[in-house]
Amino acid sequence: MGELAGLWRDAVRVLGGDVGPEPVDLDERYAEPHRGYHGAAHVLAVVRDVLDLAADRTDRERAVLTLAALAHDVVYDGVPGEDERRSAEWARARLAGLPAADRVAGIVLATTDHASDDDLTRLLLDADLAVLGSAPDAYERYRAAVRAEYAHVDDAAWRAGRGRVLRSLLDRDPLYATARARDRWGRRARVNLAAELSSLGDPP
């Protein structure tokens, strides 16, 4: 059993679910060759960071967050909105019969626009953006991995599209919804985003 599948089964058990003998194909999905950034390393980082942000939450809430983190990019075809919807459907199907199934799917869906009034969901959304507040070398690896996922896009189109994304992130106030995430990553994230935007020839 792979590491991601093991985390999934452990979280399901915490919620009282029957994991059964059927394998969960998380590790295979996150190893798909077209994934540059949205692979196993990313999802494991999101699990780690959301559990850190949720240190004072109940075991059941932490299990819900773990499942949502594991599922949030399980479908990744580079189609915004559709990827999140299908990932939520994947989670709901795998958790059929578990009372938390809709809760997990709802958190996954919130990654479509990264906005929510729900405190638990906000923890996952902040963890998903933790990479923005990385040290410069880690941020550069993230930037290069995302660019690799869009290798089919020419440089001019990439600069335009990436610039829009960076500006939308810089325009968010606050960028992170929770105080703990802002304290940990907020300042560094804005420096990283502004530096990347400048590197595209589009000063912030």
The pLDDT value recorded for residue 201 is 85
Residue ranges of the chain with pLDDT lower than 70?
21-22, 203-204
pLDDT at 13: 95
- Token pair 């915490």 is at which residue? 14
Residue 128 contacts residue 111 (beta carbons within 8 Å): yes
Global model pTM greater than 0.85: yes
Radius of gyration of the CA atoms of the chain, in A: 17
pLDDT of amino acid 21: 66
Q: Identify whether the C-beta of residue 69 lies closer than 8 Å to the C-beta of residue 46.
A: yes
User: What pLDDT, on a 0 to 100 scale, did the predictor assign at position 204?
Assistant: 64
